[in-house]
Amino acid sequence: MKRAAVFGGGGVVGIAWSAGILHGLEEAGARMADADLLVGTSAGSIIAAQVACGEKAADMYARQRYPSPDSQEQFRPYSQEDADAANRKLMEKVAGDLVAARKRIGAYARRSETPAVAARRAIIASRLPGDEWPDRPLRLVAVDTDSGMPRVFDAASACPFIDAVAASCAVPGVWPPVPIDGAQYMDGGIASITNAWAAVAADRVLVVAPLGYSDGNPVSGHLRAEVVTLEARGASVRVLIPDAASLEAFGSNVLDPARRGPAAQAGHEQGVTLAQEIAAWWL
């Protein structure tokens, strides 16, 4: 396998920024649609799924840069106070053994009061062209709320495409766990913000990480270890994280739909800046 594109979590703001990055890169000829493998985690599963389904980067960017006021992305406004409270609850549960911590988070996810699974599924469905797995290599990562272990879903998995995407995006305390094969799955970012390890067989790996190496998120520390592992296996790895202008555009709440436009624009500008360098490496 030659090239893999990995898309990490970052809320609705991260989706917008990633779409901007892709559009900026594609303008220089670095098309992530040409990757031999696409990997998505959390918000990144939306991006990976859309690319795998043949969505054009320019169209993905336009939807984020100029969002419709009727967009279902705004189904559940999530205030800064809500985000802070949810983050505190998650941070209380991450100490100690990682698998045990994920189990605690899983229990929290299962008992949290959230919108119905069907309502969340409708939002995810509105972002995708259908419920059939695309005819190209795509891996989406979610975490079993009971075992605390990550699971990779792909076209060979016995589950609907939309359910796999919804599971990977099921932020504990915000969206409901998704039932698949008798288990309940939550956000893949609980295991790793990117799960770049899922691209272990690739020669070149581009990681688009909206939350990057954030010191405020213990899970993002896994990205460093994953890059080391990939490089030790002979892969050439590039990690794209938000620059200063992008971080300013993000604001403090990555679940705030109002930040989508600014984040998309900042991502596009950053993508244009990086385009020549990435294109020379990618092509």
Give pLDDT tens digits for 47-67.
999 999 999 999 999 999 998
Domain count, the chain: 1
Structural domain range at position 266:
3-74+113-282
31 neighbors 92 (Cβ within 8 angstroms) = no
30 domain-assigned? yes
98 domain-assigned? no
96 domain-assigned? no
For the beta carbon of residue 34, count every other beta carbon within 10 angstroms: 14
Mean pLDDT of the chain: 89
pLDDT-wise least confident of 19-33, 47-61, 100-114, 208-222: 208-222
86 domain-assigned? no
225 domain-assigned? yes
CATH classification of the domain holding 120: 3.40.1090
9 pLDDT tier (thresholds 50, 70, 90): very high
222 pLDDT tier (thresholds 50, 70, 90): confident
139 neighbors 152 (Cβ within 8 angstroms) = yes
Rounded (5°) CA angle 93-94-98: 125
246 domain-assigned? yes
Beta-strand pair 204-208/3-7: parallel
106 domain-assigned? no
203 neighbors 236 (Cβ within 8 angstroms) = yes
Residue 79 pLDDT > 70 = no
Q: Which residues are catalytic?
A: 42, 187
145 domain-assigned? yes
